[in-house]
Structure 1
Amino acid sequence: MIKFEPGLIAEMTEWRRHLHRFPECGFDVHQTADFIAEKLVSWGLEVVRNIGQTGLVGILKNGDGKASIGLRADMDALHIEEQNTFEHCSRHQGRMHACGHDGHSAMLLGAACHLARHRNFNGTVYFIFQPDEEHGCGAQAMIDDGLFERFDIDAVYGMHNLPGLPAGHLAVRPGSLMASESSFEIRIHGVGGHAAMPHTGVDPIVVGSQVILGLQTIVSRNLSAIHETAVVSATEFITDGTVNVIPSTVTIKGDCRCFTEASLTRIESRMEQIVAGICQAAGARYEFEFTNSFYPTVNSADETRYAIEAAEQALGAERVNPSCDPFTISEDFSSMLRVKPGCYALLGNGTESVGGCALHNPKYDFNDDILQSGAAYWVTLVQNRLQ
């Protein structure tokens, strides 16, 4: 198991709490990126800035090995007003690290520092610090800016903390670990009129109601009950009518989740077919928009096996679940896994009063006790893959 100097463990906590005090959101993570880059440069790493706007990559080479590995952490916070009162709470009004990206960055910095000091590997490590994960745009922005063309990365790995899982435990699985996230908006145009004379128009409320019921058949009648898990939820129903006026327009909005891109394609296609058929039968017009924000997070088999081996060595086999159930939450690291083989894992943040507060909650805080666990996993993974 990895033995960290007590000073490094204390530094990781200091870095994490500094990042928590000064959260930044989206692509506007300039101060965060400056802080991270300064640390990496001080340890002798080459740093390339402004990839995907504010993303950065730290490069650490050792020996003559040609193999490489990419490790990714996210940097952005959320637009949430923090309700904690501890000393390191957010000093930026309306912004806070409510998802633990401050901890993710600190763990990766700790691994970079340890590897730079000891250099007990042979090859190249790419430390990827990404902006704008929360909106699902940062990973793709770095990819579009040449992340995998400019850097010869064999495989890429990511990690997220998970409240509710015991601190320092790791959950992972080959294949689909987390779901896609897609939103839809359906606008149905009928012919409004007096509520007392509905026969003179085309009531979009009735049409819209039939559409919502029809959407529920996508999962139950178009996807395999054995192999395809999905959720289609209509969450908004908006009209321009009033108490005695049948509206002219209805807008339906909602959310979809699934675990494969094949399911995602089938859901989108079938959704528009249902809308088109019902509207045609009623004499209504429609507009349909389907926006995919996050792809399914799909781990490759070999890289998941390497991740499990490293986690068992770093954390103890009893703390590793190698075949956890999939999660319906989403993650834009999925975009990187569409380009490169890799593995995403979930590290327990704790339960109940210590680390158990849900993500995206104004009372959430990253559990500093797991900084060492996360960094040890990263270091072990590098040493195993770059022997």
Structure 2
Amino acid sequence: MNILPTIDAAKDELVAIFEDLHAHPEIGFTETRTSAIVADKLKSYGVDEVHTGFGGTGVVGLVHGKGGGTRRIGLRADMDALPIDETSNLAYSSKNEGVMHACGHDGHTTMLLGAAKHLCETRDFDGTAVLIFQPAEEGLGGARRMLEEGLFEQFPCDEIYGMHNWPSGQPHTVGVCKGEAMAGAAFFDIHVQGKGSHAARPSDSKDALMIAASLAAEMNTILARNIPAQEVCVLSVTQLHAGAAYNVVPDTATLAGTIRYFKDEIYALAVERMQRLCDGFAVAHDVEIQLDLRNVFDVLRNDATLSDAYIEAATDIVGRDNIIQDLQPVTGSEDFSDMLKVVPGAYCVVGHAGTTALHNPGFVLDKAILPVGASIMARVVERRLAQG
């Protein structure tokens, strides 16, 4: 393991930052405390420019290298937490009820701060590092808001790199999947407007609950009978809400869930079939059914050449034996994909000793990966903006 010396010397500081962020998690677009800490740290490290309030609560910092080059490399970390009650029993567990860093974004923020500290102290590169601390990654559109506010017009980048922790039980491994690496995703809500009645006379009703339950079951046929078997698509109904009394047949019901996909035409096919099922059930049961869909994540596509560049930077830190070359695509989603649609780049995962899944109330991020991730981020800047 070849942790960069500046970052190795700052390990205790990085752990302190991480534990503080973990104890004070904030939901997307409310990361005011987090962004204030980030901005203060960047200024204390000597970052040349620190811009706050970008995309709501985002922070962007610029670090100029020793040379006079004009190329710019972007590094991005997310900052938001999830609406989950923590059960990890850590000494630094969340102090904010109902909110937890169950995806490790506190670690990602800490890693980028560590990279910033190293880049400011050494400046052993020719060009500019653009440090992007993004709010609201968890399905709230933080990346899209930053883009809409002119992120890359105000802070242009030639390449951009992102990173995520990976609770694989394989510490310090690094993997990159070239091409389509993470699924696109949409969230859906289906509203059934029926007719209520006394539960003793269900024949007077148009039972929205039963219609919704049948519709939820029928959604499974889209994957089984419409999506080609060789394609990857996930359609999950995750919520069904109806009724509030034992003796009332409800007049309304709502289904909700998500679609994950790697090809736009497969997504379009799934949506078409969902709409036809909703329309058919509405006719069959003489009710109104409305399908509301919203795309929240695009397919994340890693540039092949820049994936190799990321792998080489990671190899400098973790060694060739800890590189996973054949990482497979995953059906999870990540809004870094929106940035990659505008600027070429790559996204890697860094394995750690934890094995509890992401988005779990018992998730624990292995703090040993903080200097690893920070070193990889800093190293990719030094490699891609090598002097001379």
TM-score, normalised to structure 1, is 0.88
Match of 1:347 in 2: 350
Question: Residue 265 of structure 1 aligns to which amino acid in structure 2?
Answer: A
Match of 1:331 in 2: 334
Distance 1:237-1:21 versus aligned 2 partners, 3 A rule = closer
Among 145, 149, 162, the alignment partner of 1:145 is: 149
CA–CA separation in structure 1 for the residues paired with 2:289 and 2:88 = 46
What is the alpha-carbon root mean square deviation over aligned residues?
Answer: 2.7
Match of 1:98 in 2: 102
Using the TM superposition, give the Cα deviation of residue 193 of structure 1 relative to its aligned residue in structure 2, in angstroms.
6.2
Distance 1:237-1:173 versus aligned 2 partners, 3 A rule = same
Do 2:77 and 2:105's aligned partners in 1 also have CA atoms closer than 8 Å? yes
CA–CA separation in structure 2 for the residues paired with 1:203 and 1:86 = 47
CA–CA separation in structure 2 for the residues paired with 1:327 and 1:318 = 22
Do 1:58 and 1:128's aligned partners in 2 also have CA atoms closer than 8 Å? yes
TM-score, normalised to structure 2, is 0.88
The alignment of Structure 1 onto Structure 2 pairs a total of residues equal to: 382
Using the TM superposition, give the Cα deviation of residue 241 of structure 1 relative to its aligned residue in structure 2, in angstroms.
9.8
SS in 2 for 1:36: helix
Tell me, yes or no, if structure 1 residue 122 matches structure 2 residue 121. no
Unaligned stretches of 5+ in structure 2?
Answer: none
Question: Residue 60 of structure 1 aligns to which amino acid in structure 2?
Answer: V
Distance 1:124-1:195 versus aligned 2 partners, 3 A rule = same
Tell me, yes or no, if structure 1 residue 158 matches structure 2 residue 155. no
CA–CA separation in structure 2 for the residues paired with 1:249 and 1:345 = 44
1:124-167 per-residue CA deviation (whole Å, 9 max, x = no partner) reads 11010111222432111211111111111112211111112411
Using the TM superposition, give the Cα deviation of residue 171 of structure 1 relative to its aligned residue in structure 2, in angstroms.
2.1
Question: Residue 64 of structure 2 aligns to which amino acid in structure 1?
Answer: K
Do 2:184 and 2:299's aligned partners in 1 also have CA atoms closer than 8 Å? yes
Do 1:176 and 1:260's aligned partners in 2 also have CA atoms closer than 8 Å? no
Distance 1:234-1:357 versus aligned 2 partners, 3 A rule = closer
Tell me, yes or no, if structure 1 residue 16 matches structure 2 residue 18. yes
CA–CA separation in structure 1 for the residues paired with 2:22 and 2:250 = 48
Bigger mean CA deviation after superposition, 47-56 or 70-79: 70-79
Percent identical pairs in the alignment equals: 39
SS in 2 for 1:356: coil
Question: Residue 326 of structure 2 aligns to which amino acid in structure 1?
Answer: S
Do 2:3 and 2:372's aligned partners in 1 also have CA atoms closer than 8 Å? no
Bigger mean CA deviation after superposition, 73-82 or 126-135: 73-82
1:56-94 per-residue CA deviation (whole Å, 9 max, x = no partner) reads 111011212222111111112233343444443333344
Match of 1:364 in 2: 363
Using the TM superposition, give the Cα deviation of residue 199 of structure 1 relative to its aligned residue in structure 2, in angstroms.
7.8
SS in 1 for 2:103: coil
CA–CA separation in structure 1 for the residues paired with 2:79 and 2:101 = 9
CA–CA separation in structure 1 for the residues paired with 2:185 and 2:379 = 32
Among 247, 267, 270, the alignment partner of 2:270 is: 267
Question: Residue 261 of structure 2 aligns to which amino acid in structure 1?
Answer: C
Mapping for residues 308-323 of structure 1, pairs under 5 Å:
308-323=311-326
Unaligned stretches of 5+ in structure 1?
Answer: none
Among 271, 275, 279, the alignment partner of 1:276 is: 279
CA–CA separation in structure 2 for the residues paired with 1:189 and 1:54 = 38
